């Protein structure tokens, strides 16, 4: 006999008829509603049919009997089947309500996800457009930098389109330069803070050094006093042992003397009792002879003299030992108190030394961090200056071997942008790289005077103009410094660099660059220009082996100290090789 539970549906009777006919088994059917009992009981092979409320239906031929649930189904868990069905129905309704609410939230979440996806797609498109615009502007900017100055491109009637594009690029560059100025100001504040920290570190280091020296002196004094105390304690112990030994000898000798006097008197008394006085005296003399002791040695005065002599020896031994026992013990206590104070001072000094050592270690760690920061900043500035020509640069410091490694990737090179060492570069590329590295390293150099010897040699016109532009821009950005440059070339690149800076919104004053030409008969030419307070005030592009010919140019300075400084500089300068 089989038992099945089927869902509530309209074709239930047909379903059970087909199933029971095919299976040829008697079936007990279960249904959810009471209205389904009768049709279910009439199905062939259905033995009995039950509803959820506990009613039973039995079909015998054409008769269908329905038994009520009362008394047929026992209540379960303390409640009736009707109450359980009611609670299950309420629970099913709440679950369905929660399901509908969850479906509504799912639909709302799906709509929100679609909206966010659309917004993300729009933002991604906008970002792609801005990225493409930025790439195009950077390409235009690099192309504009690689081209000659704008003045050489404008025809007689002018080209309005190029001028407008250059103006827009200038506006963008001006905005970038404002941001760069803010970053430089922030960097300057960081450098000031670093300088203050370095000064504080040096002062603390000096204090630590002085305190360490004081600690060493205190430790040496403590060790010396400890050695003296140990020597005094050793001498005191030896003197104490010697004094005790002498006292024991004195006591033994006094006891022997007293015993000898007692024995002498006893012998004398016995002898006088036993014989006459003459015989007694003779016996005493015989006894003295046997004892090998004279009369003088047995007299009280002789014994006192001997005791006094022994006490004198004791006093001499005490004096050699440093005084009486009480004095030596008092001196020992005083030295112990002094040693205790020295130990306390040593503990304080060690604590201060440990604190200073920890502070020194923290400052050493900060200096290591500053070292890494300087390396990263210099590498970033170097790469930024190299990028003006489309190149890439990288700096790496090997602190263990104390070596600096410079790698560059040249734009348009046949190697495909692979980093190269400086030895594999051409003369112009190496000169431009040297200028970029010097300017990048100068950001962390605190020297008020900067000098470069022939920084633009072996360069073509484009590289030389960009190098001059970078040098002028660096001098303009650091107006608190003074720069000195020497060059064997003409001043045409100077005018081109000034024009390029003016096109970028940096208008140099007329007194920013001034030149002075000194010609030598042998034709050995070089040039140099210097800046005071950030202003390039004099420029010489020819050189002579006799520095005295240039000394008359120093009358342009108002400061006597500056004249003496540069006069000394000229007399120590070496003329270049022909």
In this structure, the answer to whether residues 40 and 8 fall within a common structural domain is yes
- Say if CB 272 and CB 280 are below 8 A apart: yes
Please identify, among 23, 38, 67, the residue that sits at the C-terminal boundary of a domain.
67
CATH of the domain at 313: 1.10.287
Q: Is 452 part of any domain?
A: yes
Task: Please report the pLDDT score of residue 146 as a whole number.
Answer: 65
Q: Is 276 part of any domain?
A: yes
Neighbours of 149 (CB within 10 A): 17
Cα-based angle 321, 323, 328 (whole degrees, multiple of 5): 85
Helix (H/G/I), strand (E/B), else coil: 524:
coil
In this structure, the answer to whether residues 463 and 336 fall within a common structural domain is no
In this structure, the answer to whether residues 484 and 538 fall within a common structural domain is yes
Over residues 422-439, the mean pLDDT reads 82
In this structure, the answer to whether residues 187 and 266 fall within a common structural domain is yes
Higher pLDDT, 315 or 407: 407
In this structure, the answer to whether residues 561 and 456 fall within a common structural domain is yes
In this structure, the answer to whether residues 438 and 477 fall within a common structural domain is no
In this structure, the answer to whether residues 248 and 324 fall within a common structural domain is yes
Task: Please report the pLDDT score of residue 562 as a whole number.
Answer: 42
In this structure, the answer to whether residues 57 and 38 fall within a common structural domain is yes
Instruction: Please say if the pLDDT value at position 212 is more than 50.
Output: yes
Higher pLDDT, 16 or 225: 225
In this structure, the answer to whether residues 296 and 194 fall within a common structural domain is yes
pLDDT-based confidence at residue 296 (cuts at 50, 70, 90) = low
Task: Please report the pLDDT score of residue 488 as a whole number.
Answer: 76
Instruction: Please say if the pLDDT value at position 436 is more than 60.
Output: yes
Half-sphere exposure in the Cβ direction for 246 (13 Å, CA): 17
Residue 535's H or E segment, with its range, is: strand 535-540
> Which residues face 398 on adjacent strands?
403
Q: Is 557 part of any domain?
A: yes
Q: Is 481 part of any domain?
A: yes
Over residues 10-21, the mean pLDDT reads 52
Q: Report the distance separating Cα 554 and Cα 139, nearest Å.
A: 46
In this structure, the answer to whether residues 210 and 240 fall within a common structural domain is yes
Tell me what percent of the chain is helix, strand and coil, each rounded to the nearest 5: 65, 10, 25
Please identify, among 443, 462, 486, the residue that sits at the C-terminal boundary of a domain.
443
State CA 374 to chain mean position distance: 14
In this structure, the answer to whether residues 242 and 332 fall within a common structural domain is yes
State CA 406 to chain mean position distance: 26
Structural domain tally of the chain? 4
Q: Is 72 part of any domain?
A: no
Please identify, among 398, 421, 443, the residue that sits at the C-terminal boundary of a domain.
443
* Full residue range of the structural domain in which residue 322 is found: 174-362
Task: Please report the pLDDT score of residue 14 as a whole number.
Answer: 53
Helix (H/G/I), strand (E/B), else coil: 527:
coil
In this structure, the answer to whether residues 324 and 398 fall within a common structural domain is no
Q: Report the distance separating Cα 439 and Cα 459, nearest Å.
A: 17
Q: Is 167 part of any domain?
A: no
Task: Please report the pLDDT score of residue 544 as a whole number.
Answer: 33
Residue 209 CB partners (closer than 8 Å, separation 6+): none
Task: Please report the pLDDT score of residue 251 as a whole number.
Answer: 73
Q: Is 161 part of any domain?
A: no
Neighbours of 531 (CB within 10 A): 25
Q: Is 303 part of any domain?
A: yes
Helix (H/G/I), strand (E/B), else coil: 453:
strand
Instruction: Please say if the pLDDT value at position 409 is more than 60.
Output: yes
């Amino acid at each position: 006999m089989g038992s099945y539970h089927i869902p509530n549906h309209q074709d239930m009777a047909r379903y059970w008829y087909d199933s029971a006919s095919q299976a040829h088994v008697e079936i007990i059917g279960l249904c959810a509603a009471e209205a389904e009992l009768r049709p279910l009981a009439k199905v062939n092979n259905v033995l009995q049919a039950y509803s959820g409320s506990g009613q039973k239906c039995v079909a015998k031929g054409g008769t269908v009997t329905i038994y009520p649930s009362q008394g047929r189904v026992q209540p379960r868990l303390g409640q009736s089947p009707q109450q359980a069905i009611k609670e299950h129905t309420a629970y099913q309704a709440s679950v369905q309500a929660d399901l509908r609410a969850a479906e509504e939230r799912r639909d709302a979440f799906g709509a929100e996800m679609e909206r966010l996806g659309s917004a993300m797609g729009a933002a991604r498109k906008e970002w792609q457009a801005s990225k493409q615009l930025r790439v195009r502007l950077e390409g235009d900017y690099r192309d504009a930098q690689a081209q000659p100055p704008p003045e050489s491109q404008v025809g007689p009637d002018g080209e309005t389109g190029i001028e407008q594009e250059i103006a827009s690029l200038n506006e963008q560059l001006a905005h970038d330069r404002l941001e760069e100025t803010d970053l430089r100001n922030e960097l300057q504040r960081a450098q000031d803070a670093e300088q203050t920290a370095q000064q504080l570190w040096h002062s603390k280091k000096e204090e630590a050094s002085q305190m360490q020296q004081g600690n060493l002196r205190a430790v040496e004094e403590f060790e010396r006093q400890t050695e003296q105390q140990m020597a005094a304690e050793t001498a005191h112990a030896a003197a104490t042992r010697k004094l005790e030994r002498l006292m024991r000898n004195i006591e033994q000798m006094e006891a022997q003397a007293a015993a000898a006097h007692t024995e002498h008197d006893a012998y004398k008394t016995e002898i006088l009792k036993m014989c006459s006085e003459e015989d007694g005296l003779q016996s005493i003399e015989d006894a003295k002879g046997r004892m090998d002791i004279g009369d003088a040695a047995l007299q009280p005065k002789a014994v006192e003299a001997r005791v006094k002599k022994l006490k004198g020896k004791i006093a001499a031994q005490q004096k050699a030992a440093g005084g009486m026992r009480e004095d030596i013990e008092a001196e020992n206590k005083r030295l112990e108190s002094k040693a205790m104070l020295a130990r306390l001072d040593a503990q304080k000094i060690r604590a201060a030394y440990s604190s200073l050592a920890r502070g020194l270690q923290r400052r050493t760690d900060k200096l290591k961090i500053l070292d890494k920061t300087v390396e990263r900043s210099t590498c970033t500035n170097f790469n930024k200056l190299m990028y003006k020509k489309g190149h890439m640069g990288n700096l790496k410091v090997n602190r263990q071997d104390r070596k600096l490694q410079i790698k560059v990737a040249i734009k348009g090179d046949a190697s495909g942008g692979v980093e190269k060492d400086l030895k594999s570069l051409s003369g112009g590329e190496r000169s431009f790289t040297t200028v970029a590295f010097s300017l990048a390293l100068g950001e962390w150099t605190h020297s008020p005077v900067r000098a470069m010897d022939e920084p633009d040699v072996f360069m073509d016109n484009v590289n030389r103009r960009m190098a001059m532009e970078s040098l002028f821009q660096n001098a303009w950005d650091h107006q608190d410094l003074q720069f000195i440059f020497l060059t064997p070339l003409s001043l045409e690149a100077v005018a081109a660099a000034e024009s390029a800076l003016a096109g970028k919104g940096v208008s140099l004053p007329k007194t920013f660059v001034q030149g002075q030409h000194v010609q030598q008969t042998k034709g050995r030419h070089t040039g140099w220009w210097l800046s005071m307070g950030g202003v390039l005030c004099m420029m010489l592009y020819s050189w002579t082996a006799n520095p005295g010919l240039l000394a008359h140019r120093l009358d342009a300075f108002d400061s006597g100290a500056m004249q003496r400084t540069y006069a000394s500089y000229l007399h120590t300068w070496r003329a270049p090789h022909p």
